[in-house]
């Protein structure tokens, strides 16, 4: 599992997938979500606009990321 740092307390799931290079663009993120390939904290998620908080774990296929707060 790797950490992906964000500047605020949360980020939209679609943006996170792009930031973490798990999706090439918004269309790819949407396709992953519609296919049921994404979980947030162990629960399936299909909403691209879902807010994902610091500390959450997102899994796409065989890769897991944890949302972390960017250090100053």
Consecutive 10-residue averages of pLDDT for the chain (72 residues): 94 96 94 95 96 97 94 76
- What pLDDT is recorded for position 5? 95
Number of domains in the chain: 1
Percent of the chain's residues with pLDDT above 90 = 92
Range of 14's domain?
2-69
HEC secondary structure over the chain = CEEEEECCCEEEHHHHHHHCCCCCCHHHHHHHHHCCCEEECCEECCCCCCEEECCCEEEECCEEEEEEECCC
CATH number, domain containing residue 29: 3.10.290.10
What is the model's pLDDT at position 71?
Answer: 81
């Amino acid at each position: 599992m790797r950490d992906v740092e964000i500047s605020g307390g949360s980020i939209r799931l679609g943006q996170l997938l792009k930031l973490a290079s798990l999706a090439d663009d918004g269309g790819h993120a949407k396709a992953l979500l519609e296919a049921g390939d994404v979980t947030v904290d162990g629960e399936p998620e299909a909403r691209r606009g879902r807010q994902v908080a610091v500390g959450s774990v997102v899994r796409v296929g065989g890769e897991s990321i944890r949302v972390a707060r960017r250090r100053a």
